[in-house]
Chain A
Amino acid sequence: MKKQKPTYRLSTWLLGLVALVLTFSACKEDPPLEPEDFVYENGALIVNEGNFQSGNASLSFLGLANDSMQSDVFKGINERPLGDVGQSVTIHGNRAWVVVNNSGKIEGLGLPSLKTECQITGLTSPRYLLPLANGQALVSDLYANAIQIVDLNNCTTLGQIQTGGWTEEMIQIGNRIFVAQMGTDKVLVIDETTLTLTDSIQVGREPNSLEVDQNGKLWVLCSGGLSEALPTLHRIDAQALLVEHSDTIGVLADSPTKLGINAAGDRLYWLNGDVYTGNVAGALMASITFAKGSRNFYGLALHPNSDDIYVTDAKDFQRKGQLYRIRTIGVDSFEVGINAGGVYFLP
């Protein structure tokens, strides 16, 4: 007997279609919160450098209330990539100023939305931004041989202070601004009132990061360059502009970076492969507080209130990294973007 081919009426097809639509309708979830609706506060903003000329810099956000990590938040909110080499973030007033090094720009992001409110463009190779009291800011630069003076209200450049060479981190103590000058063994001193270069202090080779301790002393971390000198840490009297104390903190092949300080201002932290710590008073007594193991620590920050330590692992610089949070109760970790180099805390 010949097998009869099954036939289906139109109504059967329609019924099936309706059932299918209903099935998917039933599964439909509430629409996810759009990025622009989200409030970015009480969290850590992680700047992922990305790779040079690869245009893959990004921002990640870790909400500290619920430990939820969001990746690439800038692109989600502003519908474009952040740029090429995300360098640093400065939280000032109601904006987060994101310095994008190889895009030659600074994004002024409104808080807590992280929407771009303005851009400062036309910069050569900006590194760090230091706000001043008068609504202006200084921007250090890798190639410009000068520090740029910018207006944070109008997002314009106003002028520059000739420095010669690569300028890196800056810090203000009183009316003096101290600038780490890479490629040299100097910390430059700028007068805030006149915005002129007034002095320089001899330190170790390649000063890269600066902190102020509880006593108002300036601490300068020098990497030693590419095996050019031993890495050193210096304590400077910011009034007398004199180096009070120096410590060698590694061997010739080491290259320590990312000096940080705790909320009380009595304990320093830095990266030298592992996470190191030392006292600001008396002998430094440097010791490892978090060993790297097989990790490649690249960024370091301390929470301004809790003293929790945040360390980033850039792995091989070619893939997404990891953020480690070291607390008294233990260590946890979160995935971040490529080459996470800085962690900044939003109130």
Chain B
Amino acid sequence: MKRAAQIILLCCLIAFPSLVSAQVDTVSTSPSEVESSELKVSKLDVIMILAPSTTHSIGGKTHRLDSLGLEKTKLGTLTDALKAMPSISMKEYTAGGLSTPSFRGTGAAHTQLYWEEIPLNSPMLGQQDLNLGAGGLFNRVEAIYGGAGLRLGTGSLGGAVNLASVPEFRREKEAFRFDQSLQYGSFQSFSGNWGLKLKLKNGLRSQTKVYLKSAENDFPFVNTALLGNPIQRMENAKTKTMGVFEELGFRYKDHGFRGMLWAFKGDRQLSPTMLEAFSDERQDDQSIRSMLEWTFDESRAFRAQFKTQIAFLDETTRYQKPVASIDAPSRFRRFVLQTGFVKSIRMQQGRFDLSSGGLRIMRDQAESNGYLEAVSQWRGTAHLGGILQMRKDARAEILVREAFFGNQFSLPLGYLGVSNRLFGNNSWQLKSNLSHNARFPTLNDRYWNPGGNPDLRPERSLAAETGMWRFRYVNNRSLQYGVNGFVNHVNDWILWLPGQGNIWSPSNVRTVWVKGIEAELKWRRQRGEFFTDLALNYNFSDSRDQDGFLLIYTPRHNAFASLNLGWKDFSFSYYQDWNSRRYTSADNSEYISGFSTGDASLGWGKQFSNFGMNLKAGMRNIANAQFQTVAWRPMPGRSVFLRLDMSFWKERE
């Protein structure tokens, strides 16, 4: 067994060197952690490879990007990371352009993005541009679906995504490590990541990452808007993003301290649609995100980890359209103080335990020439959660959250999840939950001049879901499959509509019903020097307003399949997705056709005593499909890339 595990570990490290930078999943009784009690494997590295990627806290669904996924998206953006997850469809204006997600058929502002549990969504627009976030900065990218997102905060009517750097336990002996990843591709695209990790004496450790991405994006496309469908080249689509990430931490007895800084700058031209004569638009973004964290592991009386974080975000966006003499800078600053605990639970039938609690206070301040003056707001939320061990094979989680917004308090928000083992079998789980969530209006909704409406109510969601899932691990093979159904009723959905004098103004006018089904299967196998990983996903979501029309840009069907093969020093990967049509007008009279794209790559890697390298060549959109995710904004056809990863390390004496 030990020998087999060593072989598996070696193959994985050779085939996917960046696994070396991935983290270990800790087994915890915390409801937000993976229930991996089925995994009775002693080698942590094997767990990493064979652990279920879709995990389940009590009653809810969480998808964690696994090591393969992290490796693939290391040089990509957060868009690439989320594309690899079920039930999320992306809306991209073009390659590298503005990109927003839609979880389970909801709007972009219904996905909450967190960094180390600090809310990142802009208080002005209520959303985040995922193409500004680098995929390689984090070793834990986790999507929490539906009402279970209440664990992190309010507003996740569709879901929540948390990005985190989890301390790595695997290479305690490493004192120094340098990673470099370089990728060149079609349309003059370049992506580079450089990472330096140092482990100093007294438990002090440092992690520095620098990244640079640039692309001309002058790809050819078939212009179906013109007679004869001529082939044209995309113009004004150049992008350049660079960033730095620093994490400094140390432990002293039961106390852990971390300081983090994430700064980036993005300069992007905004390309014209197929029907525009030209575009001279551009958008420049700058962001500084910083955070201090103190954790205290109390293991005697209360048996919990207490965590306190202070964060400061300063984000600037500047949109320019010279031909129209438009220069529109906007800026927001956010201060966050949050504290909380996650308690270890002793499972005992009939026993109810307090499992988590916390308080978050946020102050947002924003400036824009769309406001009459700088505006600010206080927001806060507090929660308490508990777990009831109902029977030996059934547990329930109750979470209650209360939020305030200026001088308004939300109705009590809550989550009730139940997990039940089925058929007397540890591998089968029945998961169900009910939730009540709310999203508060943005600063633009309230203060935009003209049109802002300060009297808006929060959007309210009442959701339910249930599903059956199975995860089995036998003899270096793992199999996970399941099906999930959900409904979500959103009231007071905020919509901007023309009012007096044709001035657009937001109001709580829409009611939306979302219904959906998710099915997935994941099979992994390690046999000698062969490694196989197969994933199939199908998602259906039907989001309709009160008039029975499907919401725009929410495809009803999407599916993807991926296959990863490893043999000795070689790896092969294939990914294919299918997306149904998406409507672009509120009365469903206009739509973008569905599309399917396929990507493939071939890699070779070698690992030495203190040096490893990996070479990979790949092709995206192999069939050269001409497709759009936003009307008349073409996405790139076939493209190729070449990637080189190198790592150097030194172990402690």
Question: Which residues from chain A sit less than 8 Å from chain B, CB to CB?
Answer: 53-56, 78-81, 83-84, 102-105, 121-125, 142-143, 223, 226-227, 253-255, 257, 273, 296, 298, 314, 316-320, 338
Of the A-B pairs whose beta carbons lie under 8 Å apart in the complex, a sample of 29, sorted by A's number, is A53-B276, A53-B632, A54-B584, A55-B273, A56-B584, A56-B590, A80-B224, A83-B225, A83-B275, A84-B276, A103-B275, A103-B277, A104-B277, A105-B277, A121-B277, A123-B277, A124-B323, A125-B324, A143-B324, A223-B501, A227-B450, A227-B501, A253-B500, A255-B500, A257-B502, A318-B586, A319-B587, A320-B587, A320-B589
B476-511 at interface with A (beta carbon < 8 Å) = 495, 497-498, 500-503
Contact A53 B323 (CB under 8 A): no
B631 near A: Cβ within 8 Å?
yes
List 7 additional contacts besides A79-B227, A253-B503, A273-B500; criterion CB under 8 Å. A78-B227, A83-B275, A103-B276, A104-B276, A121-B277, A255-B501, A320-B589
Instruction: Give A333 Cβ to nearest chain B Cβ, in Å.
Output: 16
Q: What is the 8 Å Cβ interface bit string for chain B, positions 446-461, against chain A (1 contact, 0 not)?
A: 0000100000000000
Q: What is the 8 Å Cβ interface bit string for chain B, positions 499-538, against chain A (1 contact, 0 not)?
A: 0111100000000000000000000000000000000000
Given B227, B500, B549, B585, which contacts A56 in the complex, CB threshold below 8 Å?
Answer: B585
Instruction: Give A257 Cβ to nearest chain B Cβ, in Å.
Output: 8
Contact A226 B498 (CB under 8 A): no
Per DSSP, chain B at the interface is loop
B222 near A: Cβ within 8 Å?
no
B1 near A: Cβ within 8 Å?
no
Q: What B residues does A123 contact at CB under 8 A?
A: 277
CA distance A122 to B275 in the complex (A): 13
Contact A104 B498 (CB under 8 A): no
Instruction: Give A110 Cβ to nearest chain B Cβ, in Å.
Output: 15
Per DSSP, chain A at the interface is loop
Listed from nearest, the 7 A-B pairs whose CB atoms lie closest are: A104-B277, A255-B501, A319-B587, A318-B586, A55-B632, A55-B275, A84-B275
CA distance A343 to B277 in the complex (A): 25
B474 near A: Cβ within 8 Å?
no
If A55-B274, A102-B276, A121-B277 touch, whether A317 touches B225 (CB-CB below 8 Å) is no
CA distance A320 to B584 in the complex (A): 12
Contact A338 B585 (CB under 8 A): yes
CA distance A225 to B303 in the complex (A): 64
Contact B501 A142 (CB under 8 A): no
Contact A80 B276 (CB under 8 A): no
CA distance A122 to B323 in the complex (A): 13
- A80 and chain B: residue at smallest CB distance: B227
Q: What A residues does B169 contact at CB under 8 A?
A: none
B532-590 at interface with A (beta carbon < 8 Å) = 549, 552, 584-587, 589-590
Contact B501 A319 (CB under 8 A): no
Given A125, A143, A296, A318, which contacts B585 in the complex, CB threshold below 8 Å?
Answer: A318
Contact A81 B501 (CB under 8 A): no
CA distance A1 to B432 in the complex (A): 51
Q: What B residues does A81 contact at CB under 8 A?
A: 225, 275
Instruction: Give B509 Cβ to nearest chain A Cβ, in Å.
Output: 9
- B324 and chain A: residue at smallest CB distance: A143
B226 near A: Cβ within 8 Å?
yes
Given A84, A142, A255, A338, which contacts B503 in the complex, CB threshold below 8 Å?
Answer: A255
Given A54, A227, A273, which contacts B631 in the complex, CB threshold below 8 Å?
Answer: A54
CA distance A332 to B503 in the complex (A): 28
Q: What is the 8 Å Cβ interface bit string for chain B, positions 233-273, against chain A (1 contact, 0 not)?
A: 00000000000000000000000000000000000000001
Contact A317 B498 (CB under 8 A): yes
- A271 and chain B: residue at smallest CB distance: B502
Instruction: Give A167 Cβ to nearest chain B Cβ, in Å.
Output: 14
Q: What B residues does A105 contact at CB under 8 A?
A: 277
CA distance A102 to B323 in the complex (A): 12
CA distance A103 to B325 in the complex (A): 18
B278 near A: Cβ within 8 Å?
yes
Q: What B residues does A317 contact at CB under 8 A?
A: 498
Q: What B residues does A226 contact at CB under 8 A?
A: 450, 501, 503
CA distance A104 to B590 in the complex (A): 23
If A78-B227, A143-B323, A254-B500 touch, whether A122 touches B277 (CB-CB below 8 Å) is yes
Instruction: Give A325 Cβ to nearest chain B Cβ, in Å.
Output: 21
Q: What A residues does B275 contact at CB under 8 A?
A: 55, 81, 83-84, 102-103
CA distance A252 to B549 in the complex (A): 36
CA distance A104 to B324 in the complex (A): 13
Q: What B residues does A125 contact at CB under 8 A?
A: 323-324
Contact A319 B632 (CB under 8 A): no
Q: What B residues does A338 contact at CB under 8 A?
A: 585, 589-590
If A319-B587, A338-B585 touch, whether A80 touches B225 (CB-CB below 8 Å) is yes
Contact B631 A56 (CB under 8 A): yes
Instruction: Give B414 Cβ to nearest chain A Cβ, in Å.
Output: 33
Given A79, A122, A319, which contacts B586 in the complex, CB threshold below 8 Å?
Answer: A319
Contact B225 A316 (CB under 8 A): no
CA distance A319 to B503 in the complex (A): 18
CA distance A317 to B586 in the complex (A): 9
CA distance A257 to B224 in the complex (A): 35
Q: What B residues does A253 contact at CB under 8 A?
A: 500-501, 503
Contact A316 B585 (CB under 8 A): no
Instruction: Give B275 Cβ to nearest chain A Cβ, in Å.
Output: 4
CA distance A155 to B274 in the complex (A): 22
Q: What B residues does A273 contact at CB under 8 A?
A: 500
Q: What A residues does B552 contact at CB under 8 A?
A: 318
Contact A314 B589 (CB under 8 A): no
Instruction: Give B371 Cβ to nearest chain A Cβ, in Å.
Output: 14
Q: What A residues does B278 contact at CB under 8 A?
A: 104
Interface centre among A102, A125, A254 (most CB of B within 10 A): A102
- A166 and chain B: residue at smallest CB distance: B324
Q: What B residues does A142 contact at CB under 8 A?
A: 324
Q: What A residues does B226 contact at CB under 8 A?
A: 80
Instruction: Give A255 Cβ to nearest chain B Cβ, in Å.
Output: 3
Interface centre among B227, B277, B503 (most CB of A within 10 A): B277
Instruction: Give B519 Cβ to nearest chain A Cβ, in Å.
Output: 32
